[in-house]
Structure 1
Amino acid sequence: MQPKIAYFSAEFGLSESLPIYSGGLGVLAGDHVKAANDLELPLVGVGVLYRRGYFQQRILEDGSQDAQYPPMNPEELPVQAVLDGHGHPLFVEVPLGNRLIYLRVWQANAGNVPIYLMDADNDRNSDQDRRLTDRLYGGDQETRIAHEVILGIGGVRVLRAIGFEPDVWHMNEGHVAFLALERIREYSAQGVSFETALEAVKASTVFTTHTPVPAGHDQFSFELMDRYLGDYFWQLGADRAKILGLGRHNDKFNMTRLAFQTASKVNGVSKLHAEVTKELFHKWCPDIPPQDIPVEAVTNGVHTETWLSPELSELYNQHLAYNWPRAVADPQTWVKVEEIPDDKLWGAHQSAKQRMTERLSLPNLQNVLTIGFARRFATYKRAYLLFQDLDRLERIVNHPDHPVAFVFAGKAHPADHPGQELIRRIVEVSKMEGFQGKVFLVENYDMNIGRHLVQGVDVWLNTPVKPMEASGTSGIKAALNGVPNCSVLDGWWDEGYNGENGWAIEGKTEGGRGYQDWVDGETLYRVLETEIAPLYYRRGEGGVPHDWVTVMKNSIRTITPEFSTARMVGEYWSRAYAPVAERGRRFAANNLEVAQRVGAYKQFVRTSWDSVYIQDIKLSPHEDGTRVQACIRLGRIWHADVRVEAVGSDGHGGIWKQELRPVTENAGGKYLFECDYPNRIEVWRKANANIRVVPISPDFCNDFELELTSWGTNWR
């Protein structure tokens, strides 16, 4: 039987008709559940029905952003009320400080996949509490912690109320991590110890982190935690210090830290992001090298049928295999794109472009290279990069032989004043004499506008500060529509770019922000002037730019299968869901036998680890290499419960490891370990090699689960 998955997310971008999303995280979540439906996976989503959504954006004459929150009536939304066993609206109770909040449950659907949404706006709550679920990412820290209590604790209670019993709990970002505390509370109510409950919860949980940006990792003061959850802590079977320790970082309670400590599988959303995340999480456990931090990579994808233009869909129906929508993730499906006549593909794109300009009330841009930039106006995404040298930009947009137009769209969070300043600056530039009719800002960016843009522009532009773009997905949506990317090599594009399917900006990572901006801006101008624009205007018979269409085809063929949610969710299934479901079942079997054993073992190791230390390390020449010997005191810990290894730099940003074997045991828990290192002593020292001891167990989900390490200090 397939394991059942509960997918928790603070936002879901299912369609523009249900505006409970703000950007990439929510749209990714929406695409995730749609792919689960396509693959017929037993998955349900859990989120919040925000009665006023994110916000509706109006751009005023001076370029300032006006955020409006019109109320939404659930009766007018694509949701339905969930009913209890008596046919009445289903409610769940959630503790919040010294009171209870009553949440009504609604259901949206992605095909056959239900998404359960909680709503505090009902007459069982006080007027103040009815406003708790009004706005996505609105309000202050108190509103945010209330949202996350509702998401995590309330979400678990919703699933219990409807009778859905997940085998795997997927936390999509740390916003939902309180679900782990609620599951521990459930076990505690059955008389299970905190340590055993924690292991059972951890064994069946997956955590996906989405951003290296600090603002994306929620953290709360301990005072706020006490105020909102103090009456809840005692129900978890542990003292306050132990519970707060699950999320403690820099004297705050960090929700990402909580998620990391309560999940057995943790992943970033691109290969580069996984490496950046390892560096970020290394701060929590500085004795473990970043390369060993247990974070995997599952690169994001997009739901092809949601984002594909009707013009190209019709073309694919004519030229690809009849079942291509069911074989999106198979690269062979897209080989036949090369056989589509150039004029047909170009004509389909021009039709999509015409539809875009009409829908977005833009002038006729059919014969103008049109570049799109649409996303949240966070400063690290650098919408300003294009405007560093206005004289040069003016020459680009007004070039007599190959003019260029730019279409911008996006919202800045109402509290993000620098982001709003970027919007104002774009409006200001668009009104300058040299840029009128060449720079446009489309207001009130949503999924519908985004769909028209990725289908209709000629090039998709992305200029983040490397490596701050965890993945990004808008460029993938453009690529499957034959719109090539021009992007900093960050996030998914660092994996997707092959030299022939778009254009790359290396992305400076050294020097200050000003230097990085200048170098990347210069590169962008040069690529626009010397590569993109000339290629676009190089026309053949019938006005078809054959060389440009070659790039379009390469973009479709190489990016669509590899960066589809069909591939992504399939990868989650094989690498996370299936193994975590099996692990969860094993830990829960026989009245939590394995969970109890692992919890007790960890307690023993933690209380004994202070006595573990490396007394002496001896290096001596040996045949063609070096014999390495380490005298190690383990105290009460058995030698088979640790791994002793040499660790050094490989000189290329990685590390090498070589295990030492125990050769003698002395009194008092002292052991001699040794290995033969295949190089000379000088090479060992150049690699900054050292000996470390880590506790291990075949029941651990990774070698560094306990975050305990002892390193050598004495050399001879």
Structure 2
Amino acid sequence: MKALRRFTVRAHLPERLAALGRLSTNLRWSWDKPTQDLFASIDPRLWQQAGQDPVALLGAVAPARLDELAEDEQFLNALDQLAADLDDYLSRPMWYQEQDSKSMPSGIAYFSMEFGVAEVLPNYSGGLGILAGDHLKSASDLGLPLIAVGLYYRSGYFRQSLTADGWQHENYPSLDPQGLPLRLLADAAGAPVLVELAMPDAKVLRARVWVAQVGRIPLLLLDSDIPENEHDLRTVTDRLYGGDQEHRIKQELLAGIGGIRAIRAFTAIEGRPAPDVYHMNEGHAGFLGVERIREYISEQKLDFDTALTLVRASTVFTTHTPVPAGIDRFPVEMVQMYFGDDGKDGLLPEVPVGRVLAFGAEDDPSKFNMAHMGLRLAQRANGVSLLHGRVSRAMFDELWPGFDPAEVPIGSITNGVHGPTWAAPQWIELGRELAGSTEALREPNVWARLQQVDTGHIWWIRSQLRALLVEDVRQRLRRSWLERGASEAELGWIATAFDPDVLTIGFARRVPTYKRLTLMLRDPQRLEALLLDKDRPLQLIVAGKSHPADDAGKALIQQIVKFADRPEVRHRIAFLPDYDMSMARQLYWGCDVWLNNPLRPLEACGTSGMKSALNGGLNLSIRDGWWDEWYDGENGWEIPTADGLADENRRDDIEAAALYNLLEQSVTPTFYDRDDKGVPNRWVEMVRHTLQGLGPKVLASRMVRDYTEKYYAPAAQSFRRTSAPIDGLPFGAARELSAYRQRVREAWPHIEITDVDSTGLPDTPLLGSELTLTATVALAGLKPDEVDVQAVLGRVDASDALQDPVTVDMVHSGSGDGGTDIFSTTTPLPVAGSVGYTVRVLPHHPLLAGDNELGLVTLA
């Protein structure tokens, strides 16, 4: 018989063990090995059966065992010490508390559609979610006053298995939040807080708010599967990235608008200050900006443009996609349906629907673009690697017409990974011995101490981790073959499959086609020869999930599985289903080489290779994402790219051949070249160099500090200046900036550079010769100090286009005829060769993040 309903009953802990409850529900245990070891000691077998989940363990352990532990002095001493350590971690000043509080935000709200904090909370599908989880953990370690917001998916992302013929099968388990490390947000009377959104047809979408405590960071997860909702609305938060566009837009409305309302409830109940910086991790939660505009209109009685000015000043937008196809776009009619034809009957009646639609406008007038909305609502934006920043500036340059892509105001913060989560315990222990504490590992000079470590010891750690990986792979391989219908009698070969002494390569990630899961199969005979080489073999472990609707991705998985099923090679190559954080951790720890071969430049960052590098893995990768900026010739290998080649098949052939050549001629010879003690000295020196050079760079603590210093602090300061009163009028600065923006937009079509004159150059100009430029400008009613007039100089190509130009501010030097103004400058010629110049006018205001912010420019 099957149960009608499943729910979780938590065990009653003896009073002396009450601290176990706190330790189990704060997800800091997921990156604190001493706490994990304490729970494992309760019942090692049950700990493994419970998936290393403290809440599940405490629900399954026998009461007699708990009573026994309540009398075990050794266990109680360890429990008391860990409870005190958690209290200290939650309360002591961290890096953030050492900064100047006047320049820092009092609170930061971080919105993401997925969060990969721990495998016990499967609210993630891939890199975006893992990145968000690492962001929270590092924000906690650094002491940031951050509140995170997302959705609680009752089925999470899917569990993956394989059919007998290697086709991906999806299963969506129903997750009981009562059995997870979550608490329900409730008011003073104990009633659950409900967030409400008006829907079409007079319906109301309601959501409860679950709180996951990630160290010091509360993660608010909105859940629509509650009795207060009508049946069709209960399923809004059923699955991550499931359903059609109608389902998707409901999720994004709930995440953005409902997320702001959840924050308001949480901060009121918890007595915390409201955030003054809002960070959108991708455009999914972009409607949060519209809700904040509504708040200012409704509660502060501000006009729309003044409210928008305040929202922009305090908002940061991070884009993760390098291709337009990766952006959420909805039919304009669908967005209009939710916000009402005239705004009066819609979701936010105070906000004119036309203004909402304008946020998402793009070149296709029938589409509403969520990334465009994010960029229009944020004063600061960034990509997630240097290369991705360049790609993003080119991809979104239509929002800044008249500017070269290099001037589009989208910066970059290269992603990072959370060290305590992804580094193997052996490396953490070695780091602690070298540095005295794990916190010191954030500093580059500490990593330099790896020079003191014996080559043999580094090799011993790498070999130990590879052996653990082989053991894990055999267990997973057996489970997968049994699920596919094999019998135990057929699986004797698995006991010796893979070899702890063989060069081990990992390839694990989501399976969209651009990541080219099957590039390694381009020449199957050549791959087979590499796998089975008598003297220098390699073994390959592959994993990854394809989107349930992506049959092309599933076909790639099937190709790998069919190749790996062959008896000739199945002991050397495997596809492991159900890729998740626990599998990923073993792969990052144990693989000698991390393979990544995307179509450049379609990998925004690619943090999996960072996690491998953090464990001494050497990257073998196309120079895309983070690897493009941090590859140095000694920390791995660069697969030459044929990007730009129109023939995709030929490009794949070229890059696959380059991959095989590297494996044959560089990777395997270096791994198997041993000294008389069996140590590959050259390989180990590359490992040491990788750890020393990349270790401090790839850490999420570096990333979060970069966000804090380059985006959060400037946004907080901008918001404070913009929200300041003028002459006693609340938000006077915002009102003044809003009025300026309006005047500029009205005047701009009439601004004209009527004359440009140059003097001062000798007959034969030399590099450094001084050029004087004078421009006459009709400002259409704007004042000279409300614009920035610039001379732009540089080399020119055959079409007279300026290349890598230098800009020089021109100074107002008086009035001209007919109400014009004169601007001039004298500047040395910055380059030799064929040189040209022009003059341009941009808006200028001290509260703008830059003169290019408004996307307005007039050229001579």
Structure 1, unaligned runs of 5 or more: none
> Equivalent residues in 2 for 1:109-508 (5 A)?
109-162=213-266, 163=268, 164=272, 165-190=274-299, 191-230=301-340, 233-234=343-344, 235=348, 237=350, 239-250=352-363, 251=365, 252-318=367-433, 320-323=434-437, 325-361=438-474, 363-432=497-566, 434-508=568-642
Equivalent residue, structure 1, for 2:197: 94
1:540 aligns with 2:675: yes
Distance 1:345 1:653 in 2: 48
- The Cα offsets for residues 538-560 of structure 1, whole Å up to 9 and x where unpaired, read as 11233221211111111111111
Cα offset for 1:384? Answer: 1.8
Do structure 1's residue 646 and structure 2's residue 749 form an aligned pair?
no
One-letter identity of the residue aligned with 1:486: L
Of 273-282 and 338-347, more deviation after overlay is shown by 338-347
CA distance in 1 between counterparts of 2:691 and 2:423 reads: 11
- In 1, the alpha carbon distance for the partners of 2:170 and 2:531 equals 31
Question: CA–CA distance in 2 between the matches of 1:546 and 1:233?
Answer: 70
1:653 & 1:504 partners in 2: Cα distance? 29
Asked if the contact 1:370/1:404 (under 8 Å) is kept, the reply is yes
**Structure 1 residues 95 and 668, CA gap change in structure 2 (3 angstroms):** farther
Counterparts of 2:161 and 2:250, CA distance in 1: 28
Residue 689 to residue 430, structure 1, CA distance change in 2 (3 Å): farther
SS in 1 for 2:625: coil
The match for 1:53 is 156
Distance in 1 between residues matched to 2:503 and 2:598, nearest whole Å:
22
Which stretch of structure 1 is more off in the superposition, 56-65 or 357-366?
Answer: 357-366
SS at match of 1:41: coil
Match for 2:825 among 675, 697, 702? 675
Q: Confirm or deny: 8 A CA contact 2:795 2:831 kept in the other structure.
A: no
For residue 238 of structure 1, report the CA deviation from its aligned partner: 5.2
Cα RMSD of the aligned pairs, angstroms, is 2.0
CA 1:360–1:438: 2 relative to 1, 3 Å: closer
* Corresponding residue SS for 1:328: helix
Match of 2:738 in 1: 599
Distance across 1 between alignment mates of 2:561 and 2:793: 53
Judge conservation of contact 1:96–1:146 (CA < 8 Å) in 2.
no
Is the deviation greater in 404-413 or in 58-67?
58-67
Q: What secondary structure sits across from 1:356 in the alignment? A: helix
Query: How far apart are 1:498 and its partner, in Å?
Result: 1.4
Contact residue 323 and residue 395 of structure 2 kept, 8 A: no
Distance (Å, rounded) in 1 between the aligned partners of 2:320 and 2:137: 19
Q: In the TM superposition, what is the alpha-carbon distance from 1:241 to its structure 2 partner?
A: 2.5
Return the letter of the residue paired with 1:202.
Answer: R
Aligned to 2:487: none
Question: Aligned-pair distance for 1:10?
Answer: 0.5
Letter in 1 for 2:856: L
> Is contact 2:159–2:172 with CA below 8 Å preserved after alignment?
yes
CA contact (8 A) 2:600 2:623 kept: yes
The alignment covers a number of residue pairs equal to 708
Q: Does 1:524 align with 2:659?
A: yes
Q: 1:416 to 1:329 in 2, by over 3 A?
A: same
Matched to 2:407, the amino acid is D
Q: Deviations over 1:360-390 (max 9, x none)?
A: 3252421211100000001111112211122
Q: Distance in 2 between matches of 1:270 and 1:681?
A: 29
Question: Displacement, 1:306?
Answer: 0.2
Q: What secondary structure does 1:13 align onto?
A: coil
Q: 1:540-559 alignment to 2 at 5 Å?
A: 540-559=675-694
The SS at the match of 2:533 is coil
SS in structure 2 of the partner of residue 562 of structure 1: coil
Distance of 2:656 and 2:791 partners within structure 1: 44
Quick one: which amino acid aligns to residue 143 of structure 1?
H
* Aligned-pair CA distance for 1:263: 1.3
* TM-aligned CA deviation for residue 673 of structure 1: 3.1
* Pick aligned residue for 2:705 from 570, 578, 588: 570
Which stretch shifts more, 273-282 or 335-344? 335-344
> Which protein has the larger Cα radius of gyration, Structure 1 or Structure 2?
2
Asked if the contact 1:80/1:106 (under 8 Å) is kept, the reply is yes
Rounded Cα–Cα distance in structure 1 between residues aligned with 2:830 and 2:570? 68
C-alpha contact (below 8 Å) 1:311/1:349 kept by paired residues:
no
User: Given the superposition, is the C-alpha separation of residues 116 and 650 from structure 1 closer, same or farther in structure 2, using an over 3 Å criterion?
Assistant: farther
The answer to whether the Cα contact below 8 Å between 2:614 and 2:698 also exists between their aligned partners in 1 is no
CA pair 238-71 structure 1, distance change in 2 beyond 3 A: closer
Q: Which has the higher contact order (CA 8 A, sep 6+)?
A: 1
Q: Give the Å deviation of 1:438.
A: 2.1
Residues 197 and 524 of structure 1: CA distance in aligned 2, closer, same or farther (over 3 Å): same
Distance change (3 Å), C-alpha of 1:232 and 1:587: farther
Say if 1:95 and 1:232, in contact at 8 Å, map to a contact too. no
User: Deviation of residue 436 (structure 1)?
Assistant: 2.8
Q: Identify the residue that residue 655 of structure 1 maps to in structure 2.
A: 805
User: 8 Å contact 2:747–2:782 — kept in the other structure?
Assistant: yes
Matched residue, 2:840: 692
Residues 597-635 of structure 1: CA deviation (Å, up to 9, x unaligned): 101110011011111122333455633455434332221
1:30-62 CA deviation, whole Å, 9 max, x = no partner? 001100111111111111100011111111121
Q: Give the deviation of 1:95 after TM superposition.
A: 2.4
TM-aligned CA distance change 1:315 to 1:239, over 3 Å: closer
SS class of match (1:383): coil
8 Å Cα contact 1:633-1:669 kept in structure 2: yes
* Aligned-pair identity (%): 40
2 CA distance for matches of 1:237 and 1:597? 22
Deviations 1:7-28 (A, max 9, x none): 1111000011111101011001
Deviates more, 1:541-550 or 1:167-176: 541-550
Decide whether the 8 Å contact of 2:123 with 2:153 is kept in 1.
yes
Which AA in structure 2 matches 1:285?
W
Query: What SS is found at the alignment partner of 1:435?
Result: coil
Secondary structure (helix, strand or coil) at the match of 1:700 reads coil
Residues in 2 aligned to 1:253 and 1:298: alpha-carbon distance in whole angstroms: 27
Out of 431-440 and 94-103, give the one that drifted further: 431-440
TM-score by length of 1: 0.95
SS of residue matched to 1:654: strand
Deviations 1:233-257 (Å, cap 9, x if unpaired)?
4546553322211221122211111
Preserved CA contact (<8 Å) 2:435 2:441: no
**Native 8 Å contact 1:300 1:471 kept in 2:** yes
Change (3 A) 1:618 1:92: same
Contact kept, 8 Å, 1:212 with 1:280, in 2: the verdict is yes
2-side partners of 1:444 and 1:229: how far apart? 39
Distance 1:326 1:696 in 2: 43
**Conserved in 1, the CA contact under 8 Å of 2:757 and 2:774?**
yes
Q: 5+ unaligned residues in a row in structure 2: which ranges? A: 1-100, 478-496, 797-801
Task: Report if aligned partners of 2:304, 2:351 keep a CA contact under 8 Å in 1.
Answer: yes
SS of 2:124's partner is coil
1:25 aligned residue: 128
Q: TM-score, normalised by structure 2?
A: 0.80
Instruction: Judge conservation of contact 1:46–1:155 (CA < 8 Å) in 2.
Output: yes
